[in-house]
Amino acid sequence: MHHQIVHRAGAERETLWVLLAAGLILATATAAVGLRPAPEAEAALAPHQIDSRTALTAAEQGLHADLKMAAYEIAAEIAALRPADGTSNGRAPSPAELAAQALPPFAADASAAARGGHVWTLAEAGGTVAYAGLSADPGIAGSLVLLLDRQDDGHGDRHGDGHGPGIWLKRAAEAPPARLDEASLAAAGWKRITSTFTAGVTR
Amino acid sequence: MSLSLNRRRFLAATLAAGVLRAGAAGAADRKRFGITLHPYYSYVANIVGNMAEVVPIIPAGFNPHAYEPRPEDIQRIGSLDAIVLNGIGHDDFAGRMIAASSKPGLPVVEANADVPLLPAAGSMAQSAAQSAARASGKVVNPHSFLSITGSVLQVATIARELGRLDPANAGAYTANARTYSRRLRQLRADALGKLASAGDTRLRVATIHGAYDYLLREFGLEVSAVVEPAHGIEPSPAQLAETIATMRRLDVQVIFSELNFPSAYVETIRRETGIRLYCFSHISHGDYAADQFEREMTRNMDTLVQAMLETGQ
């Protein structure tokens, strides 16, 4: 007598294999993602630094950009005023001279009034030139200092973050900084504004 | 007689050919610098003068927000010596075009390398997660060209980098850049001069497209609300209703819309809220021209001054 076992129709075995394959794929993907995380691109800021994109008010962002622009112009003027024989450095233009050229943020225009009404003074120490602007309304924008090297071409990096001249901020400043070196500024509560270049996210 | 005439003709022809060859050689010596967007044509044209050629890689008439690279545009990249890019989100297609071109190693000038960038404009029509990502500053606002300071900083960077690529003309590029930057700064000074007697000019501002943060910051203004989720993406009816409610709540005084990008829903907002509406140019239309940036920025700043004066009254 011939016996033959006929299994009932079903897909248990196939289902098992499909589930196993799916599990294997998921496990591989999880391991790959876990082992290759995207590098943390942003370097943490030092305590005496402040990020221009996220930590400044709108008025401060505008003033910071204007100071960067002014740094080029001032550096060019210092170079132009330098004696041809190179025996001494050129004179730094005063805030009043810069205002007369309508150079923002020194110009006393409607924009200056709307962004904190800063009063600008010039201080020099050694090879460093500092333009300090005391804010009349720290709620809108804090006080700012632009530091330049006499030898800078406006692209200089001695004070900077890899991006030009040194620009420092203090929200509650009652006087311009007494000393212009980085350590003294940081100790006096000033924060250096840093800005980073971020390429388009869909590049 | 006829022989002498022929000889003279031959001589003249030879001389003319020589002059033409010299001219062609002069043209061949001129560098070819590519650009992607209209403002960058104006910047580079003013920096290089007639010492180099400025080559737009997108033909005039294409909207850069919706541009898809075409083979003939990619082919044009092969003839360039360098390309000047916005690089922060407005011409992200260019990198892929360069990679696909016959010159994948083409020198790239990152015009925005030295510009303090702002975060992408927050939209009222986006989710909380999107807002958080934008607030963290990971996505930047690519419209740094729609401002005077942003432009002057870019012009300085472009002049310096093009000078490195073309050292024979570096001095002239720097000098031209300074002259051009002074002209641009004067445009802003002229506009601000018109506000001298205006008193308090602070405004609560909404914009349809998130392109004008850089410009408004130069005038001490801040954008309270941006309507479009992304450029050219119209808000849904529900988003529109929410937008209108938000504008009423924030007591927005002025809305800035955009020339050349008419949208029916903008009229709905204006009708429902009764807020004054003014239009800026995005400077991405028309033929490429050296003076286009100055012309259209003058008009933008005149519009802004008009809005501040009329609303302040």
Q: pLDDT tens digits for B182-230?
A: 999 999 999 999 888 777 777 889 888 888 999 999 998 888 888 877 7
Highest mean pLDDT among A14-28, A85-99, B235-249, B276-290: A14-28
**Residue A130 belongs to some domain of the structure:** yes
- Dump pLDDT digits (tens) for A85-112: 665 667 889 999 999 999 999 998 889 9
Share of chain B above pLDDT 70, in %: 83
User: In this predicted structure, what is the pLDDT of residue B1?
Assistant: 41
**Residue A24 belongs to some domain of the structure:** no
Å from B215 to nearest chain A CA?
9
Residue range B92-101: average pLDDT? 93
Residue range A58-84: average pLDDT? 89
Kindly provide the residue ranges of all beta strands, DSSP E only, lying in A19-165, ordered along the sequence.
49-51, 119-125, 128-134, 143-149
Contact in structure between B35 and B44 (CB atoms under 8 Å): yes
- Subunit contact A110:B221, Cβ cutoff 8 A: no
Q: Work out the pLDDT band at B292, boundaries 50, 70, 90.
A: very high
**Residue A16 belongs to some domain of the structure:** no
Residue range A151-177: average pLDDT? 68
Asked if A201 is an interface residue toward chain B (Cβ–Cβ < 8 A), one would say yes
Question: Domain boundaries in chain B?
Answer: 10-125+142-191, 194-312
Asked if B149 is an interface residue toward chain A (Cβ–Cβ < 8 A), one would say yes
**Which of B150, B178, B185 is facing A76, going by the closest CB pair?**
B178
Å from B26 to nearest chain A CA?
32
Residue range B79-95: average pLDDT? 94
User: In this predicted structure, what is the pLDDT of residue A10?
Assistant: 83
**Which of A62, A73, A203 is facing B220, going by the closest CB pair?**
A62
**Residue A167 belongs to some domain of the structure:** yes
Asked if B204 is an interface residue toward chain A (Cβ–Cβ < 8 A), one would say no
Residue B25 has pLDDT above 60, yes or no: no
**Which of B116, B178, B196 is facing A64, going by the closest CB pair?**
B116
**Residue A39 belongs to some domain of the structure:** no
Which domain covers residue A137, as residue numbers?
49-194
Asked if A198 is an interface residue toward chain B (Cβ–Cβ < 8 A), one would say yes
Asked if B121 is an interface residue toward chain A (Cβ–Cβ < 8 A), one would say no
Asked if A199 is an interface residue toward chain B (Cβ–Cβ < 8 A), one would say yes
CATH number of B10-125+142-191: 3.40.50.1980
- Subunit contact B189:A114, Cβ cutoff 8 A: no
Å from A165 to nearest chain B CA?
11
**Which of A64, A197, A200 is facing B142, going by the closest CB pair?**
A200
User: In this predicted structure, what is the pLDDT of residue B195?
Assistant: 87
- Give the C-alpha separation, B275 to B253, whole Å: 6
- Subunit contact A51:B87, Cβ cutoff 8 A: no
**Which of B92, B118, B189 is facing A200, going by the closest CB pair?**
B92
- Dump pLDDT digits (tens) for B136-164: 567 899 999 999 999 999 999 999 999 99
**Residue A137 belongs to some domain of the structure:** yes
Total number of domains constituting chain A: 1
Asked if B92 is an interface residue toward chain A (Cβ–Cβ < 8 A), one would say yes
DSSP string, A125-184: ETTEEEEEEE-S-TTT--EEEEEEETT--S---SSSSSSSSEEEEETT-SS--S--SHHH
Asked if A175 is an interface residue toward chain B (Cβ–Cβ < 8 A), one would say no
Q: Work out the pLDDT band at B262, boundaries 50, 70, 90.
A: low
Nearest residue of B to residue A41, measured between CA atoms: B138
- Subunit contact A198:B118, Cβ cutoff 8 A: no
Asked if A152 is an interface residue toward chain B (Cβ–Cβ < 8 A), one would say no
Q: Higher confidence at residue B7 or residue B112?
A: B112
**Residue A13 belongs to some domain of the structure:** no
**Residue A79 belongs to some domain of the structure:** yes
- Subunit contact A64:B135, Cβ cutoff 8 A: no
Q: Work out the pLDDT band at B24, boundaries 50, 70, 90.
A: very low
User: In this predicted structure, what is the pLDDT of residue B109?
Assistant: 97
Mutation pick from B96, B118, B194, B195 vs chain A, by most beta carbons of A within 10 Å, is: B118
Mutation pick from B149, B214, B219 vs chain A, by most beta carbons of A within 10 Å, is: B149
- Subunit contact B193:A164, Cβ cutoff 8 A: no
- Looking at 3.40.50.1980, 3.30.565.10, 3.20.180.10, 3.10.290.10, the CATH number of the domain B194-312 comes to 3.40.50.1980
Residue of B162, B160, B123, B128 whose CA lies nearest to B141: B123
